[in-house]
Every structure is written in C-alpha cells, then in structure tokens.
Amino acid sequence: MEPTKRPEACPNGSGRVVIELYSGMVYPDRCRSSQCDYCLPLNARRRCLAITLAGPQRMIRLSLLAGELDESPCKTALTRVGLIRRNLKRIGREPGEWSFTIEKNPKGTGYHAHCLQRGPSIPQAELQESCVRAGAGFPHINSIKRAGMWTSRYGLKGFGADGYGLKTFRSNGDPREALRINGGRLEHHSRKFFSLDGEPLRVRDMERAAIAEMNGAKRVAYIGCSRDRAAEIVADQRLRHALIGDVNRRTITGQRCMVAEPKQNT
C-alpha cells in the first residue's frame, strides 16, 4: 500500500493566512484536524513538544498489546495497558504517568507500543510479571539519558512528526494508518502525564506551554487575515507595530483567564 501523500497546503483551510507580526512570516491557515493529511504531522509535532515538556524519564517498550488478527487493536491495547498498570499497583508498585502510541510490528506479528514514563523506576522483573499476566509479552525499559525532543518524537514518528532535526526518526509508515491503529488519537496518556510543575494541564494547554517554552525569549504574535491583505500588513511597519500591541493585550487577558480557571484536581 502506498503511504498517503501529504498535500502541500491544508485542503480544508479557509484560504486565509496567519502572519507572525514580529518576523513578518506568513503561514497558510489550516484546519488543525488530525484527520487532515496536511495537519496531522503538525499536530504530532505539537504533541511531541508537549510530551517533552512533561519530562519523561524512561522509555518502556510494551511488546504485545494486540495480536496480528485483532480487529480492534486499539481497544485491546488500552485494555492490556490498563491491566498492566493494575497488576503493578497490586504488587505495590506505582506505575507512574504514561504516554504511549501503538504501532504495528514490522513483521506483522501484532502491535507494540512505545511508552514514555515519568515517575518512580519500575524493576524489570516486576514490570515483566505484570505484562506477562496481562498477555502483553515481554517489556523492555530504557532510561532516557538525553533529555530532548527526540525521545518523544520516537513514538510519534509514524505520524510524520519529523523534519525538525534528527533524520534518523523519519516517518516510515503511513500517518493515516498510524492514526487508525490508535483509534484516531496521536497518543494515549494517563491522567496526570501532562503536568507542569506538578499541576496537571489539559493537553492543549500543555502544547501551548511547550511552544511558548520553545520560543523562549523570542516574542511572537500571530494574527489571521485574508491572503490579499497579508502583503500590505507585512510591508507596513507601523501597522504591524500597532497590531502587535493588540495581540499582546489579548494574550495577557487570555493568560489571566487561564490562571482564574478552577483547578481540575482529583
């Protein structure tokens, strides 16, 4: 089967563009749906950044989360992961927070997952017992020695989240197929995996925080406008300056809202 070819622009975009006002860079608008072949790799990249910001400490390979002939591998995989975590808790071992993506074994022997874990270390023997009891094969744990983007990109390479550094982890499959295997999701995570300074965040907020962290001290301000107006705005320094002021005022108001929101505990 031929991998789905990625279109050059989002076919569902509004025809409008987004301008980054400080740099004057113009980007075509996009629909942001993971069902879209153009937007999926960009969404995967955002999620990679969020996973990286969550600070995973170990990579666990869960070798058999569903069999080759399973008709709903995602459902089976989620059940098995639930069992593995329950088995660990039963023997008094805290599994920690997990984010994982299900992948098809290259030799057609079923489905495995790359799981990124944050939390206490789990002894191999205990994880193995918990996996075998869940029918999930033999696991493999590696601690992440190099903190960085590549670790989380590893699990999301199937969605085409590449092209931002290491070519080794280039997508080698069909992103649409990867999404189907995962039941329409980029990854699956335990409830508090996406936390910042110990506070759980919604995944979208974690993605925003990760992008802000990536931009660092570099200021950015985005506005949307029609394609026709873009050139005029980019060329007009004074207008850009005024618009930057507007965007910054809006962003600060937005941040206030985020702080004021009730905390989602439990």
- Contact residues: Zn ion, CB under 5 A: 10, 12, 30-31, 36, 38-39
Considering beta carbons, is residue 4 or 12 the nearer one to Zn ion? 12
Query: 3 or 148, CB closer to Zn ion?
Result: 3
Closest approach of Cβ 42 to Zn ion, in Å? 8
Closest to 171 in 3D by CA, of 183, 154, 186: 154
| Token pair listed for 237 | 């320094």
Q: Find out whether 20 and 220 touch, Cβ atoms under 8 Å.
A: yes
Closest separation in Å from C-beta 6 to Zn ion: 11
CB closer to Zn ion, 75 vs 180: 180
Q: Which is nearer to Zn ion, 35 or 264 (CB)?
A: 35
Q: Which two tokens stand for residue 254?
A: 């937005």
Hey, what are 194's tokens? 């996406």
Nearest-angstrom CA–CA distance, 44 and 187: 9
As a whole number of angstroms, the distance between CA 162 and CA 32 comes to 17
Residue nearest to Zn ion (CB): 36
Closest approach, Cβ 164 to Zn ion, in A, equals 19
User: Smallest distance from the beta carbon of 176 to Zn ion, in angstroms?
Assistant: 13
Q: How far is the CB of 251 from Zn ion (least distance, A)?
A: 24
Cα→Cα distances 178→44, 80, 118, 137, Å: 11, 19, 24, 21
Q: What is the rounded radius of gyration, in angstroms, for the C-alpha atoms of the chain?
A: 21
CB closer to Zn ion out of 32 and 133? 32
